[in-house]
A and B are shown apart, each in its own frame.
Chain A
């Protein structure tokens, strides 16, 4: 039964991956992996050491003064995020246009569209960058505009039968139009969306029930795979949701008080559905370590430490996780599984939910152990969730290995 569904998904994945825009996009993703690795480790350094409420200075009682270079490092690392996106746009444009124009029998120099799309992606950074939204990058928006830009370039070339000069007025006008339009569209993005902070939404009562949480657990990996930024209200451990504050107040009044919102995004989703990042991808990283293909194992090794600290960016670009049907299913399953297990355990009083705030950078793997009032039960639940997630990912990881061997 399961293998039948798996075969169907693999067939769909194969078909999808072989489409020219997807194939060239995945190649672009994989080309930027070394850059992504540097970027992820820089983020990790800041998150663990240089943030004012980072976990390492907190635990070791180190009072780091506001270091000038730390601020600069933070600024540069955030700018680096956008640069990676710009490289993806440029590499994708080059790969896609080369192949597409070849098919159409036109020989063109792709430098202008490559530069235009590089600028298109970079201007997204200029339009939305603030210190607060480092992780809130909507890949989907930039890649969609890049794709439209590529299509329009192909149509223009087809329409003019490839007779126009590569840097002639017509192509320059095309590039200017693309850049002006994209800049205009970026200016329409509301600041709340660009910061991916939806405190009022997730503070709603709907998200204090299992059904709201399960729905979120299903949609979060889908949104991630489609390239949407994940709301920081779910990913950050120092959350300010009203349910969390109400629980905290209750606990401060009486230690083992009845909590007003035992199930909430923090106690269920952040704690159990995001171990290693969206889709509980720490489990996937562990699976990769046990594969025979060296390329996949190396990816697992590079992403192991970041995955412990909930960053799955290396896998997202390296496998990739983005726009990949084969990876979407286990991500949804692992995320939902963690949510359902934790919801049930809290509902039937097997464990006290995560209530306390923890320092920035605390791994979600240890969140329940740190911040629940029944730490050992919580740790046991986390181990149970992690093992379950590994079992969910294992057949899909083996499938990845097969595809890698066939490639």
Chain B
């Protein structure tokens, strides 16, 4: 038995030497390639799963803002100042701004601190013309930005705010590029978002609205959507027709967990001023930010009592 075992390496060597040269070369080359692949792959897996684990365990849930057409990443500055004036100390929300340049590169400014669970991120686009192809292109760029942000800051859950066409970019992203394997969006709030562009009639649906309706099955089913319309003169907010904002119901109603339509009015309800409108500020605070306790501003309900022209339509 022992003799047999001792002669095994000798036999194996002679078996190897007797095999064809081509087979030996192929086996050795393949084995080397497998070893290289194993080494590189394992290194990649380690980094990847540390990242995944960090994402899974992350406590931060940023609120990500997207401005509308022709607006820059500074669009929400006064909104952030208002919110941060009321939330001092550890409740202060850090602000990170990402600009998507025309060549697709990303420029970061500001910082993201994990001291507050809900830091603010603004994603702005250099290409921000008011047309559907640009919105589609920006929606596609969102995929790159979101995965870049995730790899840098390891978050999974987030809430989204889109002003004007920013809401359209979010809708395009959620329908075509969002993956529930990688992210979890809790709330989407759109401010004066023209889902049917400048069409005031429900019966005339633009290509974009039709596409959004067709793709609405891809929306995350556990999402809460709040669509805020501004009413400056009963029909529009000085720029976007209220009917166009209301068309959002064709996209979201019965497709997401909750769709709420709210119209705000008054002096600060013009399209460009919507993000600074006190009622909008309170809606963001009440519906998106967690730190409800200890806030000094009026509640939305209190505001509504003071602003009788508000109309709320909830499904």
Interface set, chain A 359-375, CB cutoff 8 A to B: 359, 362-363, 365-366, 369-371, 375
**A100 CB contacts on chain B under 8 angstroms:** none
Q: Are A252 and B53 in contact (CB under 8 A)?
A: yes
| A252-B52, A286-B27, A290-B15 given; A369·B42 CB < 8 A | yes
Please measure, in the bound complex, the distance between the C-alpha atom of A55 and the C-alpha atom of B38, giving whole angstroms.
11
- Contact present for A366 and B20 (CB under 8 Å): no
Flag whether B41 is at the interface (Cβ < 8 A).
yes
Q: How far is the CB of B21 from chain A (nearest CB, A)?
A: 11
B57 within 8 A of A: yes
Tell me which of A305, A308, A375 contacts B42 (CB under 8 A).
Answer: A375
* CA distance in complex: A289, B29 (Å): 13
Contact among A55, A58, A297, A305 for B22, CB-based, below 8 A: A297
Q: Does B22 contact A252, Cβ atoms closer than 8 Å? A: no
Quick check: A366 and B37 within 8 Å, CB to CB?
A: yes
CA distance in complex: A64, B212 (Å): 27
Residue pair A300, B23 in contact (C-beta under 8 Å)? yes
- Whether the pair B45, A252 counts as a contact (CB closer than 8 A) is no
Minimal Cβ-Cβ distance residue in B for A288:
B23
* Complex Cα gap A70–B40 (Å): 25
Which residues of A from 284 to 298 have beta carbons under 8 Å from B?
286, 289-290, 297
Report how far A304 CA is from B23 CA in the complex, Å: 10
A59 at the B interface (CB under 8 A): yes
Chain A residue nearest in CB terms to B55: A252
B152 at the interface (CB under 8 A from A): no
Q: Determine the interface band of chain A, counting residues with CB < 8 A from chain B.
A: 20 to 34
Q: Is the CB of B44 within 8 A of A305?
A: no
Q: Total number of A-B contacts with CB less than 8 angstroms? A: 60
Contact check, A297 vs B20: say whether CB atoms are below 8 A apart: yes
How long is the Cα–Cα vector from A55 to B42 in the complex, in angstroms? 11
Contact A301 B23 (CB under 8 A): yes
For the residues of A in contact with B, the DSSP-based class is helix
Distance in angstroms between the alpha carbons of A168 and B22 in the assembled complex: 54
What are the residues of chain B within 8 A of A290 when measuring CB–CB?
15, 19, 23
Q: A252-B57, A300-B23, A301-B26 are in contact. Are A58 and B44 (CB under 8 A)?
A: yes
Q: Using Cβ atoms and an 8 Å threshold, which residues of chain B touch A252?
A: 52-53, 56-57
Q: Considering only CB atoms, which chain A residue lies closest to B43 in the complex?
A: A59
**Contact between chains at B42 and A370 (CB < 8 Å):** yes
- Name the B residues within 8 Å of A286 (CB-CB): 27
A356: interface (CB < 8 Å): yes
- Contact pick for B26, options A60, A304, A356, CB 8 Å: A304
Interface-central residue, A58, A286, A290, by most chain B CB under 10 Å: A290
CA distance A297 to B19 in the complex (A): 10
Say how far A386's CB is from chain B's closest CB, in angstroms.
11
> With a CB–CB cut-off of 8 A, which chain A residues contact B30?
304-305, 308
Residues of A contacting B257 with CB < 8 Å? Answer: none
Task: Among B38, B40, B49, point to the contact of A356 (Cβ < 8 A).
Answer: B49
Q: How far is the CB of A3 from chain B (nearest CB, A)?
A: 19
- Asked whether B34 is an interface residue with its Cβ less than 8 Å from the other chain, the reply is yes
Query: Within A244-292, which residues are at the interface with B (CB < 8 Å)?
Result: 252-253, 255, 286, 289-290
- Identify A308's interface contact among B15, B19, B34, CB under 8 A: B34
Who on chain B is nearest to A63 by CB? B144
Docked-complex contact B41 and A304, CB < 8 angstroms: no
Q: In the assembled complex, which residues on chain B have CB atoms less than 8 Å from the CB atom of A365?
A: 34
CA A155 to CA B19, docked complex, whole Å: 51
Q: Does A230 contact B (CB under 8 A)?
A: no
Complex Cα distance A290/B44, Å? 34
Q: Is residue A358 within 8 Å, beta carbon to beta carbon, of the partner chain?
A: yes
How far apart sit A379 and B34, CA to CA, in the bound complex (Å)? 12
Asked if residues B19 and A59 are in contact (CB atoms below 8 Å), the reply is no
Please, which residue of chain B has its CB at the minimum distance from the CB of A290?
B19
Give every chain B residue within 8 A of A59 (Cβ-Cβ). Answer: 37, 40-41, 44
Mask: chain A, 157-196; 1 = CB below 8 Å from B; 0 = not: 0000000000000000000000000000000000000000
Decide: B41 and A366 in contact? CB cutoff 8 A. yes
When distances are taken between beta carbons in the complex, the residues of chain B under 8 Å from A253 are 56
Establish whether residues B45 and A289, one from each chain, have CB atoms under 8 Å apart when the complex forms: no
Q: Which residues of A contact B37 (CB under 8 A)?
A: 55, 59, 363, 366
| Residues of chain A lying within 8 A (CB to CB) of residue B41 | 55, 59, 358-359, 362, 366, 369-370
**Chain A nearest Cβ from B148, distance in angstroms:** 10
Residues of chain B lying within 8 A (CB to CB) of residue A371: 45
User: Which residues on A sit within 8 Å (CB–CB) of B52?
Assistant: 252
Query: In whole Å, how far is A71's beta carbon from the nearest beta carbon of chain B?
Result: 16
Residues of B near A55 (CB, < 8 A) are 37, 41
Could you tell me the distance between the alpha carbons of A253 and B53 in the complex, rounded to whole angstroms? 8
Contact A366-B23, Cβ < 8 Å, known A304-B30, A308-B30, A356-B45:
no
Say yes or no: B27 contacts A370, CB within 8 Å: no
Alpha-carbon separation in the docked complex, A365 to B26 (Å)? 17
Residue of A with least CB distance to B104: A65
Residue of B nearest to A356 (CB): B49
- Scoring B residues 100 to 116 as 1 if CB is less than 8 Å from chain A, else 0, what string do you get? 00000000000000000
> Which B residues from 1 to 27 make CB contacts under 8 A with A?
15, 19-20, 22-23, 26-27
Q: Give me 29 A-to-B residue pairs in the complex whose CB atoms sit less than 8 angstroms apart, sorted by A's number.
A: A55-B41, A59-B37, A59-B40, A59-B41, A60-B40, A252-B53, A252-B57, A255-B53, A289-B23, A289-B26, A289-B27, A290-B23, A297-B20, A297-B23, A300-B23, A301-B22, A301-B23, A304-B27, A304-B30, A356-B45, A356-B49, A359-B41, A362-B41, A366-B37, A369-B42, A370-B41, A370-B45, A375-B42, A379-B38
For the complex with contacts A308-B34, A370-B38, 6 further pairs of A-B residues with Cβ separation under 8 Å are A289-B27, A297-B22, A304-B26, A308-B30, A356-B49, A369-B38
Q: Which are the 6 A-B pairs with shortest beta-carbon distances?
A: A289-B23, A252-B56, A59-B44, A370-B45, A59-B40, A290-B19
